[in-house]
Structure 1
Amino acid sequence: MKITVLFPELPFRAEWIFPRTADAIPRAGYVDSLITRPLVEELTSVAPWDTLVTTPVDPVSFRGDVRGRLGVFVRAFRDFASKHRVAIWEGTHRFPISRNQLQGSTWLSNFNKQRGNRRSHAGRAWKRVLVILVLAIQDGWCDVDILLDPSFLHLPRRGDKVAWFPGSVSCQANLEDPNLHRPEPTSLLEALREIDEAEPWRIQFRGDLSQHPGRQIQRLVSKFFNVQPKTTLSSSLFDTTPQFPPSWIPFVAVTSDWILGRASLLHKLL
């Protein structure tokens, strides 16, 4: 089974943690004048992506000190999330830069290319982590439910409708109530606080984990606490993340029973 075939299925449907639908451009509009080099530099200078990884999140479906191949996957994922937190954060905070803005600013043009590169690098890195997950599943350490655990972050796919339109929250509020006269944000930092408060899924509920959809799934609680994996080797053999040769990444042997069960299971996740 090619990992490129399996890969699109495992980062679950966008509606698992992200909205089902979204307008290409909000009906109320947004404040595109905020997209300038000084305001983007001000935003990035505070490293808002650190919010995703600075607060430890206790897993609900497995032990925090889990060993074996599941432990290898968990540690590999944590390394991935730490290294690629900028790309993960940008996945739900990618603001549009118009053609005129790109043509008028070499800096914005370079910034746009760099965030695209970050997304590509993160996608490739995630596939390498996914190899470890598949091996853990094959050995019976867990199943695909593991990715529903609130301790994991999700990287939006390119087709997911999660773009950030700065100032759209204020614009929408004023459209719904013309007498409100809510001030529009004057910086991207203000717009960021506004959107993350209104749409906590953008920081994957790190502000209040009680809202995370994974906390509402009872079957996750302690699901992988007492698993009986097929692997009989000492778990100490898996204490470090294995360095898979490049030839392993495109191909992973997946049992036919697991492949057949995958599709039906994914449709039952919600």
Structure 2
Amino acid sequence: QGPGGPGVPTPQEVIEIHDDGAESEPDHAGPGVDQVPLAGGHAGSGTPPGSGGSPEYGSPPNGGNAEEEEEEDESDAEVLAALARCRSEARRRQSASPRSKAPSSPPATPRRRSSSADSGRSRSSTPGPGSIPRSPPAGSSPPGSSAGSPPGSPPGSPGPPQVGALVPPLFQIATSITGFNAPRNLTQAETDPWPANLLSQWQITALILSSLSRDLVIPSGWLFPGHVRGTRKPIPGVGYRDDLITGANIQALINSRPWTVLANPATRLTFDLALHRGAQTRLGRIADAYLAYEDLQLWTYWETTHYLPITRPQRAADPLLEQYHAARHHRRIAAGERWRHLLRDMLPMFREQWADVDLLLDPFFLHLPTIQDEITWYPGIISRAANAGNPAQHQGEPNDLLEALVEADTHDHWRNHYRDRPQDHPARRIGRLVAKFNPATGSQPPP
């Protein structure tokens, strides 16, 4: 079945997230049961793009009714005139009764609210599926609760938190990566792999979105191999099997859904998801929103670490390669935008001291490679290099991309984000991360 046009999936509604730049996936005939179109929008846990699965993270709100807004705007002058007449009449009554102890108040005039305001209020108060519900800031009481109720208490529950409630901070503030109200002098041993010279200038209360999305990216060479300047790219046909990169071979590869290997593991390194989910903490809600996001972006995350080098002559000769190349680009942009939405929702979580930036090192989170990472997948490069180094061994070369994938994943454990070899993830060699955002014994108030 021929692939559809390159599209970007329609995102799902999330509180206070407005993705005005999101594009809608064009209508096209759905794929077959066992076939995923090369230009599909996304693919999660076995759900083909365009199959009507779960909506995606971060949808733009719909506008209000323009005609209703115009009608209500015309009535504003009448309302203001009536209010002025009421106030004038009240002042006359007050001056006529000098012995009055208190001036009379003008009658309350109901204020009309446009349909766009109503719809905006509805959107902000009613989260959609997979969204992050609002939570009160640390030290404040949620609506409907008694004053003094600790953060995390359900509405209407005065006094100490109920059984299972958690109160931040869950970790010693002195161990926080970046200071809270003021910068801290940190050493590289305390922050590794984060750069100590950068985090020593930061404080959590001053973090903004660009701090996480642009400045604090996973350091090159820690999770993925770093790009080495001066390194020459392998020559097509000599250093690797460029003849395997065809539209038909990519279609067969995608139909096998190789991204299912990235399914999220049951254990977390820095926090107990069941504990935070049961206590309805902001960290638990962030984790659930991320799981919904990841499930829809597995194809993209797998694709970014199995990036096939498709040349312009190849794209010109094979329309399927051209479609796949364009759709791959759109998928990467869409995944990055939705990841930034999640990072924005993490900022209040950090300020409320549920976690710090070390949370991003947890293998629970997948990361998109940057231009500083060397992640290009050259099919057959392993066997070609082995045969060049020892021609007598005659190591067999892959015959298609499925065989080339096995060769690459066996040699490069990072290509699957260590999800198939969790014990090798570099975060597991950092002692400070283990259960860092779970409450220590005796640190929480008694029930």
Q: TM-score range by the shorter chain?
A: 0.7 to 0.9
Match of 2:227 in 1: 21
What secondary structure, in the 3-state scheme, does the structure 2 residue paired with 1:112 have? helix
Task: Give how far 1:219 is off.
Answer: 0.7
Alpha-carbon contact 1:59-1:150 (below 8 Å) kept: yes
1:145 and 2:355 equivalent?
no
Indicate which of 251, 257, 260 corresponds to 1:50.
Answer: 260
Q: Residue 365 of structure 2 aligns to a residue in which SS?
A: coil
Relative to structure 1, the CA distance from residue 7 to residue 89 in structure 2 (aligned partners, 3 Å threshold; closer, same or farther) is same
> 2:246, 2:432 → 1: CA distance?
47
Is the aligned partner of 1:219 residue 2:219? no
1:85-234 equivalence runs, <5 A:
85-226=298-439
* Percent of matched pairs sharing the same residue: 36
Post-superposition CA distance 1:112-168 (Å, at most 9, x none) = 000000000000000001011122111101111111112221111244221111111
CA apart distance, 1:9: 2.8
CA 1:4 to 1:219, structure 2 compared with 1: closer, same or farther past 3 Å? Answer: closer
> Contact between 2:382 and 2:407, CA under 8 Å: does it hold in 1?
yes
> Structure 2: how far apart are the matches of 1:178 and 1:133?
53
Q: Deviations over 1:224-250 (max 9, x none)?
A: 1017xxxxxxxxxxxxxxxxxxxxxxx
Matched, 1:69 2:282: yes
Range moving further from structure 2, 113-122 or 201-210: 201-210
Deviations along 1:48-67, one digit per CA (max 9) or x if unpaired, are 011101x5241021012213
Deviation at 1:71, TM superposition (A): 1.0
Deviation at 1:3, TM superposition (A): 2.3
For residues 216 and 345 of structure 2, what CA distance do their matches in structure 1 show?
13
Task: Determine which structure has the larger helix proportion and give its number.
Answer: 1
Shift of 1:26: 3.6
Question: RMSD of aligned C-alpha atoms?
Answer: 1.8
Partner of residue 218, structure 2:
12
Query: Is the Cα–Cα contact under 8 Å of residues 169 and 194 in structure 1 kept in the other structure?
Result: yes
2:245 aligned partner: 35
Corresponding residue for 1:236? Answer: none
Q: TM-score, normalised by structure 1?
A: 0.79
Question: Quick check: 2:270–2:434 contact (8 Å CA) kept in 1?
Answer: yes
Structure 1 pair 80/102, CA: closer, same or farther in 2 (3 Å)? same
Q: Quickly say closer, same or farther: Cα 1:5–1:137, change in 2 above 3 A.
A: closer
Task: State the alpha-carbon separation in 1 of the partners of residues 409 and 254 from structure 2.
Answer: 16
Counterpart CA distance in 1 for 2:351 and 2:381 is 45
Q: Is the 8 A contact 2:380 2:404 kept in 1?
A: yes
Q: Distance in 1 between matches of 2:330 and 2:420?
A: 28
Instruction: For residues 173-201 of structure 1, give each alpha carbon's deviation from its aligned partner in whole angstroms, at most 9, with x where no partner exists.
Output: 11221212111101100000110010010
Alignment CA distance shift 1:14-1:44 (3 Å): same
Residue 294 of structure 2 is aligned to residue 81 of structure 1? yes
Q: Rg bigger for which structure?
A: 2
Q: 1:41 to 1:221 in 2, by over 3 A?
A: same
Larger RCO (alpha carbons 8 Å, 6+ apart): 1
Structure 2 gaps, min length 5: 1-206, 441-447
* Separation of aligned partners in 1, 2:292 and 2:256: 21
- 1:29 partner SS: coil
TM-score, length-scaled by structure 2: 0.48
The CA distance in 2 between the partners of 1:6 and 1:215, in whole Å, is 22
Conservation of the 8 A alpha-carbon contact between 2:244 and 2:401:
yes
> Does the residue aligned with 1:14 lie in a helix, a strand or coil?
coil
Determine if contact 1:69/1:132 at 8 Å carries over to the other structure: no
Q: Distance in 2 between matches of 1:116 and 1:158?
A: 14
Shift of 1:24: 5.3
Q: Which runs of 5+ in 1 are unaligned?
A: 228-270
Number of residue pairs matched? 226
In the TM superposition, residue 6 of structure 1 has moved relative to its aligned partner by: 3.6
1:25/1:213 Cα in 2 relative to 1: closer, same or farther (>3 Å)? same
- Deviation, 1:81, is 1.1
Q: CA deviation at 1:214?
A: 1.1
Return the letter of the residue paired with 1:25.
Answer: K
Question: 1: distance between equivalents of 2:302 and 2:320?
Answer: 20
